Amino acid sequence: MTALPDAHGPKRSWWKSNQQALTPWLFLAPGIFMFAVYVIWPIYASFQFSFYDWDGLSPKKWVGWGNYQELWGDRNFIISLKNNIIWLVLYMLAVPAGLGIAIFLNQTVAGIRIYKSLFFFPFVISQVVVGLMFAWFYAPNFGLFFKLTEWLFGTGTAVLANPEYATYGIIVAGLWPQIAYCMILYLTGLNNVAPDQIEAARLDGAKGLKMLWYVVLPQLRPATFIAVVVTVIGALRSFDLVSIMTNGGPFGQTRVLSFYMYEKALSEYGYRMGYGAAIAVVLFLIMMVFIAGFVWKMVRDERGH
């Protein structure tokens, strides 16, 4: 605690009277400093970069709105944007699927705890490994999925080589850990559902889906909120799987904004830092819509306490 003045020094009384006001700031200082340097400032700097043309080697060149104008006519940008929307929509399936599995597992039979942890554990695995697993699963000619489709339809489908299916194939891989995440949120939520309300509803004759919709779900609202938040964020952050499973291919049809940004800014044929920054700004603004919504709700809850 070297940051605090010497307790025996002449300013002692001043310190004593202001201690309560100053302490929080001293405690916050290192965290705020790091956060400002590595998160807040870079956001501002990216906005700035997006108005330049820069290859990372030579001096920067001011191009004004040029990068954004180019984005508008960039087919690959439009594809990425479209895929991001597909991701967002389909990723939401993780929430009901997680709830379904949670309800399925919310029992007290022998060994259920082990089942719960095994169902959860895809979430613990790195997305790189998940990507490799599913790449193997989908592999042309010998992948399990390929064989399965071959057995069912006569010709196998190489999911990741097909521009129409590849994005969906990647999303399925992403859903796997995401469902596990939502499941664990709901399992904890179900644990805290008030038993007396359930019993009361049961006496009133509520059952099954009705019970779920009118009695259980309202009580699970906090869990649902967190599940939606992490799923939206997860969908927009989908970089790892795309990079590992298809590298944006076939012919760029599985790109998403997060990947396209990296590709333009840092990959073999890219190195347009300014253009990459402009893509990042667009992604950031999309994300901000959601972040603002989440934060607004959290602030409201906070004030309500």
Partner 1 sequence: MLRKPLGAGLALTLALLAGTSAIAQQRVLTFNTDTSDPAPKAAFEALIADFEAEYPDIDVQVNLFDHEGYKTAIRNFLTADSPDLANWYAGNRMKPFVDAGQFMDVSDVWADNNLNDQLASAESSMTIDGKQWGVPYTYYQWGMYYNKTLYEQVGAKVPETYDEFVENCKLFKDAGIDCLTTGTSAMWPAAGIFDYFNLRTNGYDFHMALTAGEVEWTDPRVRETFAQWNRLVEPGYITANAAAIDWQDAAALLSQGKAANYIMGNFAVATFKDGGMTDDTLGFFPFPTINPDVARAEDAPTDTVHIPAGAKNPEDAKTFLAFLARPDVQTKLNTALGQLPVNNQSTVDEADPFLSQGFTMLSEASGLAQFFDRDAPAEMAASGMEGFQEFMAYPGNLDDILGRLESDRQRIYK
Partner 2 sequence: MFPRPIAQRSHTAQWTYQALLPIALILWLLPLLGIAMTSIKPSSDLAAGNYFGLPSYIAWENYWSVLFDFDLWKYIRNSFYVTIPTVIGAVALSCLTGFALGIYKFRGNLLIFFMFVAGNFVPFQILMVPVRDLTLQLGIYNTPYALILFHIAFQTGFCTLFMRNFISALPRELIEAARVEGVAEWRIFWFVVLPLMKPAIAALSVLIFTFIWNDFFWATVLTTSAETRPVTAGLSSLNGQWVAAWHLVSAGSIVAALPPVAMFFLMQKHFIAGLTLGAVK
271 binds partner 1 (CB under 8 A): yes
Q: Max alpha carbon distance in the chain (Å)?
A: 88
Nearer to partner 1, 57 or 114 (CB): 57
Q: Closest distance between partner 1 and the C-beta of residue 162, in Å?
A: 8
Cα–Cα distances (Å) from 302 to 136, 158, 189, 256, 299, in that order, read 46, 49, 20, 34, 5
110 binds partner 1 (CB under 8 A): no
Identify what 268 binds: partner 1, partner 2, none; CB under 5 to 8 Å per kind: partner 1
Q: From 46-54, 193-201, 261-269, 281-289, give the range in contact with partner 1 by CB under 8 A.
A: 261-269
Alpha-carbon 162 to chain mean position: 25
Angstrom distance (rounded) from CA 161 to CA 51: 36
Nearer to partner 2, 63 or 184 (CB): 184
300 binds partner 1 (CB under 8 A): no
Q: Closest distance between partner 1 and the C-beta of residue 31, in Å?
A: 17
Identify what 5 binds: partner 2, partner 1, none; CB under 5 to 8 Å per kind: none
Identify what 247 binds: partner 1, partner 2, none; CB under 5 to 8 Å per kind: partner 1
Buried b (16+ CB within 10 A) or exposed e, 92-116: bbbbebbbebbeebeeeeeeeeeeb
Backbone angles phi and psi of 61, in degrees to 5: -130, 125
Q: Closest distance between partner 1 and the C-beta of residue 158, in Å?
A: 4
Q: Closest distance between partner 1 and the C-beta of residue 252, in Å?
A: 5
Angstrom distance (rounded) from CA 49 to CA 51: 5
Alpha-carbon 200 to chain mean position: 38
Neighbouring-strand partners of residue 52: 62
Q: Closest distance between partner 1 and the C-beta of residue 144, in Å?
A: 15
130 binds partner 1 (CB under 8 A): no
Which regions of 34-188 does DSSP assign to beta strands (E)? 52-53, 61-62
Identify what 80 binds: partner 1, partner 2, none; CB under 5 to 8 Å per kind: none
Q: Closest distance between partner 1 and the C-beta of residue 269, in Å?
A: 3
How many binding residues for partner 1 (CB under 8 A)? 26
Q: From 93-101, 189-197, 201-209, 265-273, give the range in contact with partner 1 by CB under 8 A.
A: 265-273
Instruction: Report the first-to-last Cα separation within the chain, whole angstroms.
Output: 33
Judged by CB under 8 A, the residue of 83, 243, 246, 258 near partner 1 is 246
Neighbouring-strand partners of residue 143: none
Residues 6+ positions from 274 with CB-CB distance below 8 Å: 49, 50, 51, 52, 53, 54, 60, 63, 67
Angstrom distance (rounded) from CA 213 to CA 211: 6
Which of positions 141-170 make contact with partner 1 (CB under 8 A)?
158, 160-163
Please calculate the CA angle 76-82-84 and round it to the nearest 5 degrees. Answer: 105
Which of positions 55-94 make contact with partner 1 (CB under 8 A)?
55-58, 70, 75
Residue with tokens 């700035």: 48
Q: Closest distance between partner 1 and the C-beta of residue 58, in Å?
A: 5
Q: Closest distance between partner 2 and the C-beta of residue 62, in Å?
A: 16
Report the interface residues with partner 1, using CB under 8 A: 55-58, 70, 75, 139-140, 158, 160-163, 246-247, 249-252, 266-272
